Structure 1
Amino acid sequence: MKRVSVDIGGTFTDCFVAWDGRCIESKALTTHHNLALGFNEALRNACAELALSEYELLSQVDSVRYATTLGTNALIQRKGPRLGLLTTAGFRASVPLARAKGYGVGLPHAQQMDVPNAQRPEPIVPLPMIVEVRERIDYAGQVVMALDEEQLREALRTLVDKGAETLVVVLANSVVNPAHELRIREIFLDEYPGHMLGAIPMLLSHQVAGRKGEYVRAMSTILDGFLHQVMYHGLGTLELNLREAGYRKPMLVNHNSGGMAQLNSTDALQTVHSGPVSGIAAGEHLALQAQLGNIVATDMGGTSFDIGIVVEGGVKHYDFNPVIERWMVSVPMVHLVTLGAGGGSICSYDRMFGSVQVGPDSAGSDPGPAAYDRGGLKPTVTDADLLLGYLDPAHYAGGRIKLHARRARQAIEDELAEPLDVSAIEAAKRIKSTVDANMANGIARELRTRGYEPEHFTILAYGGNGPLHACGIARALGVRRILAPPFASVFSAVGAGNMSQLHIHEKSCWTTLFDASQQRFFSDYAQFNAVVEELEQRGRDDLLRQGFAAEQIRYRLELDMRYGNQRVETAVVTSLNRLTEPEQVLQLIEQFHARYGERFGQGSQTPEAGVRINTIRVCAHVEHPGIAFADIRPQGEPLPPPPPRAHRDCHFVGHEGAIRTAIYDEAALTVGTQIDGPAIVVTRATTYLIEPGWRYRAAAQNAVWFTRLDH
């Protein structure tokens, strides 16, 4: 296998190269003005280890795969075209009203409760750019009012005259009958041919999101339209960069659904959060191959801390109405919780509580932490880690970034130590304690709200700062063991290389499997099968367009089901791709009954209310060979540690004064090596901090187990 996978984060660009059995990790600072520059630097570092030129490597690899936060950054910075929205008459206020929840969506709980100070986000489509179209289709897909084509032409002229650079069409019930949306596009192309408006795109909502719900479908289409140009130019630049360097195959882009596709088969909205989702996918593969059972994937990078859950058997949690930035959308996405707790998270003094606040703002890669000496003046978590003695100023990021302790100390003294009336070291300890507690609380809240306990999960601590804070997170969480997985510093990039090409298509299709009032079971099998066939065909077309044969494509059917009129829906995965007899209907109901009981407790099921399917979803995918993980479970007798290469005074939370700490190099990654803290293992890729009272045990592929010692 020869493969390059890349995770472009807010601070670092991570690169993982699999080359005929060798695995190379590489990092470079992300260059936001031109992502190709950071990628090229990371790739050059990997090529140097392989003694190859970039051309030699890229001309031989089977694929290059990208996961990127480009879309996330564009939303935060509001970098996008001027949008115009065409919607059904009477629905003009749907997007501005945001279901009366727009002031709080995407904010922390405390800010959601602060209603008097609530502020809605700046609208992506201002009200003057929303124009109504006279037409109406009912819930069953019947035309109630025909499309007024003359009025439509006037509406199109209005938006174009106002400077719309992208047009979005969101009509009521178009997912049931898209005829009017399709006709609007025909008229638009007739009114404004391509040679007049160039490449101005028009997005139809039924092609972006297949479920009912006008607001979330509208926001899905609006965000897709807003990100379209940024993603097209950003990823297009990356693809041109690959072409110039000798790569001739299609570039592959990771999706937040847990799959990937070629650039020409990728919607902009599908790339948002694709980097962290790649890490969750890597965690899923590791859990299956190493038989870890339930896992929590936690990625502590330079900008954020991301949390994802995979329960035993490789079952991921999905969000079918995820929140992206400040808006709720209706595209399937692997469930992810993001906290502002990375190495570059800015630390400030909270005057109300007289304490340290960490995040959510980040120093990113430019200017970066104060210790980078690139103009950053605010203290960050990395500055605290340096001041406490955990980081080697001369060998940070493999020696490519020199850290300046004096800058870090000055920033912490000015911003925190002085108002707290403590020493700089004590202020740094409070930063460490606060950020570890924030991450532990995030994990605990995410697990317990879903009915799980942390001790029933293996917690993976990865990302550039994961192994550095693993012991602190575990201590605050109250768990006794935590795992830094193989290739921990670039684990999300590893996941980007392990994904399969996959497309998810779904459609709202209200189907009553059991009608409680009439005591009757569903029997219109042809209707159900027709919808499944339509969704399979859409997925098949996506993959055939990318060069796969029909026999390579596999399908997975998922149904969103509920009891009666309950608002809560439960996703059920079934092997029944078609319904042909009553026994299969009963089988579906039994599967839902069991899944509901697992989620909400046995005995909570209410079949007497009836059983309904609200959404039919088909995942079409083609499997690819992935990176094979070794058995990383501790085995055999432990080995004594190698001689330390140095000693350093370090400061630890809960301990007074400095503690003389042994510093080890990569020799400590030898399988079976056991070290009792306090100690530090410094490698080219990351730093493993073994706090007092903890034990380090090295496993295969540079995986490390941290275990709390009994007293």
Structure 2
Amino acid sequence: MKRVSVDIGGTFTDCFVVWDKQYIEAKALTTHHNLAMGFNEALGKACTVLGLELEEILAAVDSVRYATTLGTNALIEHKGPKIGMLVTAGYEATVPLSRARGYGEGLDNLGQQDMPNAARPDPLVEAHMIRGIRERVDFQGKLVMPLDEEDVRTQIRELVNRGAEIIVVALVNAVVNPAHEQRIEEILLEEYPSHLLGAIPVILSHQVAGRKGEYVRATSAIVDGYLHATMYHALSALEQNLRAHRYEKPMLVIHNSGGMAQLNSTDALQTIHSGPVSGIGASEHLAMLTGLGNVVATDMGGTSYDIGIVVEGGVKHYDFNPVIDRWLVSVPMVHLVTLGAGGGSIASYDRMYKTVKCGPESAGSDPGPACYDRGGMRPTVTDSDLLLGYLDPENYAGGSIPLNPRRAKAAIEDALCDELDCSVIEAALLIREKVDDNMANGLFTELRARGYDPKDFTMLAYGGNGPLHCCGIAQNLNIDRILAPPLSSVFSAVGAGNMHQLHIHEQSLYMVLYDSNTRALFDDYARFNAIVAELKARGTQDLLRQGVPLADIRHNLELDMRYGNQLVQTTAVIEKHEVHGPADVLAMISQFSADYGKRFGEGSQAPEAGIRINTIRIAAYVHHETVEFEDIKPVPPAERKAPPPPASTRVCHFVGQDGPVETPVWSRAAIAPGVAIEGPAIVASEVTTFLVNPGWTFVAAKQGASWFLRAPTPAITH
């Protein structure tokens, strides 16, 4: 297997190259003005390791896969085109009203409760750019009012005259009958043909989101349209860069659904958070292969700290109505929580609480932390880590980024020392303690909100800064097992390399499996089978269009089901994809009942309220060859080996420890599997630093994996 996978983050571009049995990891600073430059630099470092030219590698690999946060950044920065929107007449206020909850979407609980300062986010489409057109179909898709085509032409021309650069169409009940949306697209292409310079892209809501819910479907289409041009031009530039270096196959883009597709089969909305989702995918793969049990995946990079949960058996959590930035959308996305905490998080003085505040603002890659010596003047977490002795200024990022301690010291002194009346080291310790507390609180909230106890989980710590901060985070949560996985600094890129091609199609409907009033079972088998067959066909066509052999295509069937009119839906995975009699209906009900009982407790099922299906979902996918992980379980204490002499020592400062500590430093390359090192210690590699806090033990495992183990805290007895 020969493969290149890339995770383009806010600070670093991570590159992972599989060259037969050789795995190479490389990093470079992200070049936001031209992503191809950072990609070429990172891949160039891998080329040096292999002794090959960039063109030789790209000509030989089976695929190049991209995961990127470009779409996320574009939303945050509010860089997008002027959108014109067509809706069913009478529904022009749906998006501006945003279900009367728009002020709170994307905020934490405290922000949602702050009603006096409540403010909606700046709209992606302005109210005067939303136009109603005369048409209507009912909830079953039956025609109520035919489309007034002259009205459509008039409204399109007016939107273009007002400066619309892209048209979004979101009609009522379009998911059950998309004929009017499709006709509007035809009319727009008649008015502004694609061969003209004045051609206007059009986004149809039923193609972006297949479930009912007029507001979330509309916002999904708006976000997709808002990112369309940015993603198209940036990813096209990446693809052209590949073509210029002799790569002739289609470029693959990672989706936030946990799969990937070619660029021509990718919506902009599907790329949001694709980098962190790749890391969760790699965590799932690792947990299944090595029997890790419950895993909480934590990715600490330069800009953010991403949290995902994989429970025993490799089951991921999905969000079917996630909030992206400040917008509620309707797209199946692997669940993750993103905190503004990373190596580049800016530290400042919190005047209200008279202490240090970290993030969410980040220095990014340009100018970066003050110690990068690239013009940054504000203190960051990386500056703190450098002054506390954890980082080697001469060998950071393999020596490609020399660090300047004087800049770091000056930045912390200017911003914090006078306000806090403390020394530089004391201020650096406060930064360290604060950022670790922020990440621990976010992780605790996420696990507890889903009914899990943190001590029942193994923490996976990856990303460039994950192994550097993991001990401080874990001991705040009473977690005693941390695994820095193989290739931890580029683990999300590893996950991108392991993704399978996948497309998810779904349809909202009202289908009663059991009517509690008449005590009748569902018997319209032809309707159910026709919907499943159509969704399968759409997924199959997506993959066939990308050159996948028909024999390799597989399908999963999922049903969103609920009892009566409950608000809570439970997703059941159904093995049999066709219904031919009462036994098949009862099997679906039985699967739903079992899943509901696992989630809410056995005995909580309520079939007497009736049972219905709200959404039918088909995942069409094809498996690809993946990176295999060896058995990386920690060596038992009796079999552990003593470490070699340390390469050097360094004066470090630790939270909770009085005074400086002379800390031994090892090279990760010199530590063989089974070697154990008692903290405090530093184990350094070219791409990351493993910091072993006092009270922790570092145990090396196969494939470069590393365990951080701590003796369990004794239970408190009364």
Is 1:570 equivalent to 2:570 in the alignment? Answer: yes
Is 1:296 equivalent to 2:280 in the alignment? Answer: no
Counterpart in 2 of 1:469?
Answer: 469
Counterpart in 2 of 1:641?
Answer: 643
The 5 A counterparts of 1:141-220 are: 141-220=141-220
Counterpart in 2 of 1:43?
Answer: 43
- In the TM superposition, what is the alpha-carbon distance from 1:688 to its structure 2 partner? 0.2
The 5 A counterparts of 1:242-281 are: 242-281=242-281
2:61 counterpart SS class? coil
Counterpart in 1 of 2:716?
Answer: none
Counterpart in 2 of 1:405?
Answer: 405
The worse-fitting range, judged by mean Cα deviation, of 664-673 and 271-280 is: 664-673
Distance 2:548 2:373 in 1: 50
- Does structure 2 conserve the Cα–Cα contact (< 8 Å) formed by 1:642 and 1:667? no
Counterpart in 2 of 1:653?
Answer: 655
Alignment CA distance shift 1:667-1:163 (3 Å): closer
Distance 1:700 1:111 in 2: 45
- In the TM superposition, what is the alpha-carbon distance from 1:572 to its structure 2 partner? 0.8
Distance 1:709 1:570 in 2: 39
Aligned length: 711
Counterpart in 2 of 1:8?
Answer: 8
Distance 1:385 1:32 in 2: 25
Distance 2:575 2:681 in 1: 51
- In the TM superposition, what is the alpha-carbon distance from 1:198 to its structure 2 partner? 4.3
Counterpart in 2 of 1:679?
Answer: 681
Distance 1:529 1:614 in 2: 15
What is the CA deviation profile of residues 384-429 of structure 1, one whole-angstrom value per residue up to 9, with x for unaligned ones?
A: 1111100000000011001111111111112122211111111111
Distance 2:485 2:417 in 1: 35
- Does structure 1 conserve the Cα–Cα contact (< 8 Å) formed by 2:84 and 2:130? yes
The 5 A counterparts of 1:447-466 are: 447-466=447-466
Which amino acid counterpart does residue 58 of structure 2 have in structure 1? L
- Does structure 1 conserve the Cα–Cα contact (< 8 Å) formed by 2:643 and 2:671? no
Counterpart in 1 of 2:334?
Answer: 334
Which amino acid counterpart does residue 670 of structure 1 have in structure 2? A
2:356 counterpart SS class? strand
- Does structure 2 conserve the Cα–Cα contact (< 8 Å) formed by 1:467 and 1:688? yes
Counterpart in 1 of 2:549?
Answer: 549
Identical amino acids, percent of aligned pairs: 65
- Does structure 2 conserve the Cα–Cα contact (< 8 Å) formed by 1:564 and 1:612? yes
TM-score between the two structures when normalised by the length of structure 1: 0.99
- In the TM superposition, what is the alpha-carbon distance from 1:197 to its structure 2 partner? 4.9
Distance 1:256 1:136 in 2: 33
Counterpart in 1 of 2:510?
Answer: 510
Distance 1:189 1:240 in 2: 27
The 5 A counterparts of 1:340-489 are: 340-489=340-489
- In the TM superposition, what is the alpha-carbon distance from 1:209 to its structure 2 partner? 0.6
Which amino acid counterpart does residue 643 of structure 2 have in structure 1? P
Distance 1:667 1:84 in 2: 56
- Does structure 2 conserve the Cα–Cα contact (< 8 Å) formed by 1:437 and 1:477? no
- Does structure 2 conserve the Cα–Cα contact (< 8 Å) formed by 1:409 and 1:424? yes
1:175 counterpart SS class? coil
Which amino acid counterpart does residue 512 of structure 1 have in structure 2? V
Counterpart in 2 of 1:630?
Answer: 630
RMSD: 1.1
1:605 counterpart SS class? coil
2:60 counterpart SS class? coil
Counterpart in 1 of 2:613?
Answer: 613
- Does structure 2 conserve the Cα–Cα contact (< 8 Å) formed by 1:668 and 1:698? no
- In the TM superposition, what is the alpha-carbon distance from 1:543 to its structure 2 partner? 0.2
Counterpart in 1 of 2:696?
Answer: 694
Counterpart in 2 of 1:140?
Answer: 140
- Does structure 2 conserve the Cα–Cα contact (< 8 Å) formed by 1:677 and 1:694? yes
2:393 counterpart SS class? coil
Which amino acid counterpart does residue 662 of structure 2 have in structure 1? R
Counterpart in 1 of 2:60?
Answer: 60
Which amino acid counterpart does residue 698 of structure 1 have in structure 2? A
- Does structure 1 conserve the Cα–Cα contact (< 8 Å) formed by 2:458 and 2:479? no
Gaps of 5+ in 2: 714-718
Which amino acid counterpart does residue 361 of structure 1 have in structure 2? E
Which amino acid counterpart does residue 468 of structure 1 have in structure 2? L
- Does structure 2 conserve the Cα–Cα contact (< 8 Å) formed by 1:86 and 1:167? yes
Which amino acid counterpart does residue 473 of structure 2 have in structure 1? I
Distance 2:29 2:378 in 1: 19
Counterpart in 1 of 2:519?
Answer: 519
Counterpart in 2 of 1:29?
Answer: 29
Which amino acid counterpart does residue 107 of structure 2 have in structure 1? L
Which amino acid counterpart does residue 53 of structure 2 have in structure 1? S
- In the TM superposition, what is the alpha-carbon distance from 1:80 to its structure 2 partner? 1.5
Moved over 3 A (4+): 195-199
What is the CA deviation profile of residues 343-390 of structure 1, one whole-angstrom value per residue up to 9, with x for unaligned ones?
A: 001111111111111111100000101111111111111111111100
1:15 counterpart SS class? strand
2:517 counterpart SS class? coil
1:408 counterpart SS class? helix
What is the CA deviation profile of residues 115-137 of structure 1, one whole-angstrom value per residue up to 9, with x for unaligned ones?
A: 11111111110011111101111
- Does structure 1 conserve the Cα–Cα contact (< 8 Å) formed by 2:457 and 2:479? no
Which amino acid counterpart does residue 130 of structure 1 have in structure 2? I
Distance 1:529 1:198 in 2: 43
Which amino acid counterpart does residue 429 of structure 1 have in structure 2? L
